[in-house]
Each structure stands twice: as C-alpha cells, then as structure tokens.
Structure 1
Amino acid sequence: MSTPRTDRKVLVVGGGAAGNAVTILLRRAGVAVDLIEAKDDWNATAGSGITLQGNALRVLRELGVWERVKASGFGFDEVGITAPDGTVLHVQRDLPTGGDDLPATVGMQRPQLQRILIDAVRASGATVRLGTRAETLDQDPDGVSVRFTDGTEGRYDLVIAADGLGSATRAAIGITAKPEPTGMAIWRVAAPRPAGVTRTDLAYGGPAYIAGYCPTSEDTIYAYVVEANRDRATIPPESYADEMRALARHYGGNWPEITAHLTDPAKVNYTWFDRLLVEGSWHRGRVVLAGDAAHCCPPTIAQGAAMSLEDALVLAGLLTSGREWDDELFQEYYERRIPRVRAVVEASVQIGQWQLDGVRDADVPGLMGRTMTILRELP
C-alpha cells in the first residue's frame, strides 16, 4: 500500500472550520502546513452560536476534539415546532446523521468551537501566521510561489483556499462564481438559557419568517429571527438590539425571557442569507477550494459548518493517500463532494424560498428528511 509523502508543504488560507480541520488532518499525516488567517484574533470571539448535526460531530471526532465539544456544548435529539405564541405544535426526532453513537445535534457557542479547533491546530505543530493574507500566487507545474502582505514569500506544493464566502483566492485563480443573496436575513444573539430550553424550537409565522433558539451549553442559548433582507445601510449598528427586540417581542413561550436580554447592540449580529455553489471543479492547478469558498447556503437545515468540515476530511484523505497531487486527484475531490453539497445547498435555499413565496403546503419535513438521509452516509 502507498504511504503518504511527508516532504510536501501546504499553505492553508483561512482559519475557519475547513481551514483548521484540514490543517489538523494533514499535520497528523506528517505534512508541513503553514496556516494564514487575515484576522488578528483568529475569529476567536466572533459569532453567537452554532448548531452541529451528527455528520459534523463525526468529523470533529475524527479530529480528536469530540470530547471537548461534548463537554462544552449541549446535545439533544429532537426539534420542536411551535406557534408564534409558544404553543408546541409538533416534536420530531432528529435523524442521527453521524451514527447512533453520537447525538443527533449539539448546540454550542461558536467562539468556543473556534477555540477548541485553534488549540488543536496549535498542538498539531502547524505554523500559524495571523493578520496575514496571500497577496499574489504564481503557479507553475511543480507548485505555487506566494507573496504575503507582510512582504515575505513562500513556496508550496499546494494551496488550500479556505478563506470563506468572499474568498479573494477564489477570484485570484479565475473562478468567477460569487455568492448571491437569497432575499432573507437573520438576527442572532447569545443569551442565558431559560430552564425549559432543552432542544431547538422553531416558530413559523408572526412578524418574522422564523423565530428559533438552540441551547449552546448548560447556561447559554443562541436565539435568532429571520426576516426579508433589508439594506444594511439603513440599520445603524447601535440599533441592532432594538431591531431584534421589535421582532422577538411578538413571540411567546420562552421568548419573553430571551427578549429581556436583548439590550446590548454589540451582542446582536445581522447577516444576509447567501447561496454559492462553484460548479465544474474546485481547483485551478495547485490551488484548491474548501468550505465556504466553494459553497455556502442559508442555515435553514444547519449544515454549513458540517459541509466545510466534511470537505476537509475528504480532501485530507485524498492528499494523504500516497497518490500524486494532480488534476485527477483534485477532480475526484470535487466529484465526491458535489452531489452531497448540491443537495444541501438546494434544499436550504428551497426551504427559504417557500417561505418567501408564502407556500403554505410545502413539504418541509419531507425535504429535510430526504436530505438528512443522504447525510447519514459517509462523505
């Protein structure tokens, strides 16, 4: 059986879920990795909460961080559907897409997940440079020469572009696909956990398309309301708490307790929903895309981070298989990922579009069930 070469050097651009995960996996196989991240704080404080379904947990277990994730987050196996007044209309068991030995879902604070991954990257021995971008990439048949924004240069056998939805690397290698808004936007906030919140509950209707919350630890939740997107320029950041509270105050059940904590605009996040799916291939020469740089979708089925983590697992597996790093290998990575990612992107966008169009008899449970059944299979 072929053994992985350990004389290769990889540059990972971007220290989010995909970039961190692929770094950890490549370092485990002995591949030299430089990771650069544009933000000085490595995104260690960004975001309110994240919902991780079983197929994401499966990758986190492979990364060796599952025990820390389990201890930090809040696991549950069902989702509730409520009326705007808080009346529970239906409780559905979640499909355990990571297998029966993992929770169906874990909610956790997004900064806590990032810190766990940061610790694993540091422990892997990768070279990490924060506040640094790739300024130019010059390719030849043998590799990529990179000039960085601090004036230094490096030579790599491969560059993995995991630099997010607005990926500068994607544009630099001539891939013209760009994210497109879907017409929806989301308000998010972290808050103390009401005693009764032990799963995700979703309310459809009322002044927002969706009002939901997810427990993220024994003490915390993150809550969100989804509405039609608005011109960001018309919403000053100092009004964010007031704007979210104006929507949330119309919901009952646990919402009054949650809404009482909507006082600090700095803790409220406002984001448009976007969609992106790069078609044909995810590489040009020796630069390959991963995560949100290649695909992104609304969080209507909570699979964005899971798809990024799966990209890292599949790509690292191919790169450490002992094969040549060539067009055939990179295209195989794309061919393995694209049917699964397309199913997630299309389902996520469709659920949102049904709401935008006011379709009352849409088969949301059926579409979600079919998609989750696909995701139960190994990537």
Structure 2
Amino acid sequence: MSVSSVLIVGGGITGSVLALALAQRGVRADLAEITPQWRGTGHGITVQGNLLAALGKVGVLDEVLRRGVPFNLLRMRQADGTLIAELPTPRTGGDRLPATLGALRSDIQEVLCDRVYAAGVRVSLGLSVRAIATGEGQAHVEFTDGSTGRYDLVVGADGIRSTVRAMLGITTAPRPSGMSIWRVVADRPAEMDCAELYYGGPRYKAGYSPISADKCYAYILDTDGRLGDFGDQPAWQLMYERSDGYGGTWGKVRDTIGPDSNVSHTRIEWLLVDDPWYRGRAIVIGDAAHACPPLIAQGAAMCAEDAVVLAELVTTDLPVRQALRAFMARRLPRVELVVRNSMQLVRWEMGLEPHTDADVAETMSSTLGFLAAAEA
C-alpha cells in the first residue's frame, strides 16, 4: 500500500468517511477534531444518491436511511404554490438507491461518529495541527497541544476555513456567492412527500425537504449578509418576516416558525482550489478544497466521494505522489462541474444573467445526470 498511517484533520462528513474507508483497508487512521464535543449541526440536509452510495461503501447506509426520508421527485412551484414542473431526480447513486434523502445533518454525523469509534480510529477532540513539514518520506506534524507525530499522509478535511490549506501554502480563499440562507427544522405538513422549490417570491428562492415522519427542513435563499445586517430581532423572527409572501405548503411551514424554532442563518460562500490540492505528503479534500452553494444539493456528496476515492487510491501499490495525482485526475473535473454549475444557478437566481425556468431545470438535471453516468 502507498500509506499505512494517515492523520485526518477534521471530523465532519469528509473526515469521518475517510477514517472509515481507511480503517476498512487496514490503514492506521488518527483523527483530530478541533471541537471538544463531536457532533454535527442540527439543520437539515438534502442528500443525493451519490452520497448514499459513498455511505454504503463505508458501511453506514442502512442506519442513515432509517433516520431519513427517501424520495425520487423534485417539484418546482411559483411563490403562491402553483406547480411549475415535476421532475424525476436522476439516481446519482445507481438504480438500487433512492435518488434523494431528506435528513438531519446531525443524525448523519452521529451515525458516522459511532462507527468511527467502533472501527478503532484514534480520535482526539479539542485538537488540531499547528505546523506540517512534508517531505518525500513522511509528514511531520506538530499539534496544538505541543505533541508531535509522523504520518505517511496528512489530510486536511477541516472545512471551508481550513487551516491545513494555509499551512500547505495554498492561497485560494472562500469568496461570497452573493447569497445567504435561512434554515429551520419545523413540523412536516401531511402533504409534503418530496423536495420542492418555490420561485418568483420576495427572496431568491424557498424550498423544503421532509426529514422524518413528522419533521421537515425548510430554507430561504436571501441576499448576502451577516445575521445582524438583517436587524436586531431574534433569528426566528427575521426568518418569519423575510419568508412572508410564500404560500402553498411553504406558507404552512412559515406559520409554525416561532420562538422555539430551530432557525439558523449562514452566509453562502464558494471555493475551488486549482489543481493540485496536495503538497508533498499532505492534501486538502472536501470543503477545504471545494465548496459550492447548495443549489444542486451536491456539497456533502462531493466531500464523501473525495474521501472514498482517496482511500481507494492511497491503498494501491502506486507511490504516494502518483496516487495523489490520480486522485486529482478523477476528482477535479467532477467537482469543478458541480461548483461552476452551482454558481451559474446563483447568477441566474440573483438576476445577474437572463434565464428561463427551463434553463434552471436543465442545468440541475444535466449536472445530476452527468454525476450518475460518470465515475466518481
């Protein structure tokens, strides 16, 4: 094998999937997670089939499916709820898997955390890296607690604000997309059976997905800004006010938003690091190398695919440098398509370029169709 010991910096979906994939192949994987309590965020996530396929490869698919709601359709509606189109979602994970799953991100992370511990991965919480020195032989790491270690490979899976990326001398930085997003976990109306998108309202777009028998994840894509830029009211009240004008099922969800609602607001940024993502025996993957607005719901899928493919290639007989070069050849074209097309949708929805509803539907469908047909 190219490597027998790997340090993973970051314990989100990317790092967790990588840890499991490496452990399956007999690699000693250490995982350093900066937060003292290891858990995912509580908002919802729309999971495409190719993420489900990646989760299947590391043995957690069945448990994740039990915690979410599968569906195979996407409906597009006017702001008042009038139906525009109903589109079958391409099965990016193959015909045996649901096209899409609505779930809580925290539920997926909980499943991954449990399996990572069970796989014997050494997990260190409240710890990150301070310095990396990488050469032809091994990478030398200094940790934030003053300890050190040597590894055959160091992987930065530490998100869009990656410290590992900066340590490798990669200067690409996140950029504003021009949008922000309001998210809420709310009661699920009885008629909600799949993901739906609402266009033509007071904001750029509204949408939702069912995530359990009685809960849903709903969101509004809004103008860019930090939470305080929208006013000094609580987040739930700001989301309630800014979603005024959406009817149909979204209007029913809005009526339930109140002081006890789980509401979050986040600026949407994007990132695409030019080839290569590695320096010597250290590499960044997932959101540390590429991040896209959630308009095609492929961000987490691209991250999990990175992890599975990297584990596959660094456990072949290829030398490390060749394995990382092969990884880039497989991953960059696929990731670049998702990021570029996601940003195209952003420009259309912000009114920066002319478009039709057919342009939006075709771009979403063709992107997912490509991902379904091409090798991850």
What TM-score comes out, normalization by structure 2 length? 0.95
Distance 2:119 2:300 in 1: 21
Q: Which of the numbers 310, 316, 319 marks the counterpart of 2:311?
A: 316
Kept in 1, the 8 Å contact 2:292–2:299? The answer is yes
Cα displacement (A) at 1:356: 1.1
What are the equivalent positions in structure 2 for 1:218-257 lying under 5 Å apart?
218-235=213-230, 239-257=234-252
Letter matched to residue 335 of structure 1: A
Distance 2:298 2:172 in 1: 21
Cα displacement (A) at 1:140: 2.8
Letter matched to residue 311 of structure 1: D
Q: Which of the numbers 347, 350, 354 marks the counterpart of 1:356?
A: 350
1:97 aligns with 2:92: yes
What's the secondary structure of 1:85's corresponding residue?
Answer: coil
Distance 2:35 2:187 in 1: 28
Q: Report the counterpart of residue 276 of structure 1 in structure 2.
A: 271
Q: Report the counterpart of residue 370 of structure 1 in structure 2.
A: 366
What's the secondary structure of 1:75's corresponding residue?
Answer: strand
Which 5+ residue runs of structure 2 have no aligned equivalent? none
What's the secondary structure of 1:132's corresponding residue?
Answer: coil
Q: Report the counterpart of residue 66 of structure 2 in structure 1.
A: 71
Kept in 1, the 8 Å contact 2:185–2:261? The answer is no
Q: Report the counterpart of residue 42 of structure 1 in structure 2.
A: 38
Cα displacement (A) at 1:264: 3.2
1:329 aligns with 2:326: no
**What do the CA deviations read for 1:315-370 (whole angstroms, capped 9, x no partner)?**
00001113222x22212111110110010000000001011126342611111222
**What do the CA deviations read for 1:22-56 (whole angstroms, capped 9, x no partner)?**
11010111110110111112233x13111111111
Distance 1:181 1:132 in 2: 29
Kept in 1, the 8 Å contact 2:2–2:314? The answer is no
Quick one: percent identity of the two aligned structures? 40
What are the equivalent positions in structure 2 for 1:276-295 lying under 5 Å apart?
276-295=271-290
What are the equivalent positions in structure 2 for 1:174-193 lying under 5 Å apart?
174-193=169-188
1:298 aligns with 2:293: yes
Distance 1:221 1:291 in 2: 26
Kept in 2, the 8 Å contact 1:238–1:266? The answer is no
Letter matched to residue 334 of structure 2: R
Q: Report the counterpart of residue 58 of structure 1 in structure 2.
A: 53
Cα displacement (A) at 1:236: 6.2
Kept in 2, the 8 Å contact 1:240–1:265? The answer is no
The 1:296/1:113 distance shift into structure 2, 3 A limit, reads same
1:30 aligns with 2:26: yes
Q: Report the counterpart of residue 345 of structure 1 in structure 2.
A: 339
Q: Which of the numbers 203, 207, 217 marks the counterpart of 2:202?
A: 207
Distance 1:235 1:12 in 2: 37
Kept in 2, the 8 Å contact 1:200–1:213? The answer is yes
Cα displacement (A) at 1:131: 0.9
Cα displacement (A) at 1:265: 7.2
What's the secondary structure of 1:300's corresponding residue?
Answer: coil
The 1:264/1:40 distance shift into structure 2, 3 A limit, reads farther
The 1:145/1:238 distance shift into structure 2, 3 A limit, reads farther
1:17 aligns with 2:31: no
Cα displacement (A) at 1:286: 0.6
Q: CA RMSD in A?
A: 1.6
Distance 2:92 2:136 in 1: 40
Distance 2:11 2:256 in 1: 31
Which 5+ residue runs of structure 1 have no aligned equivalent? none
Letter matched to residue 33 of structure 1: A
Kept in 1, the 8 Å contact 2:275–2:332? The answer is no
Distance 1:339 1:237 in 2: 43
Kept in 2, the 8 Å contact 1:54–1:102? The answer is yes
Which segments of structure 1 move beyond 6 Å, counting only runs of 4 or more? none
Q: Report the counterpart of residue 103 of structure 2 in structure 1.
A: 108
What are the equivalent positions in structure 2 for 1:128-207 lying under 5 Å apart?
128-207=123-202
Distance 1:29 1:262 in 2: 46
**What do the CA deviations read for 1:189-233 (whole angstroms, capped 9, x no partner)?**
111211111101110111111111001111211000011112444
Distance 2:84 2:262 in 1: 31
Cα displacement (A) at 1:123: 1.2
What's the secondary structure of 1:223's corresponding residue?
Answer: strand
What TM-score comes out, normalization by structure 1 length? 0.95
Larger mean CA deviation between 79-88 and 347-356 belongs to 79-88
The 1:217/1:265 distance shift into structure 2, 3 A limit, reads closer
**What do the CA deviations read for 1:125-171 (whole angstroms, capped 9, x no partner)?**
00001111101112232111111112221111110000000000000
What's the secondary structure of 1:288's corresponding residue?
Answer: strand
Distance 1:16 1:236 in 2: 31
Give aligned pairs, total: 373
Kept in 1, the 8 Å contact 2:154–2:282? The answer is yes
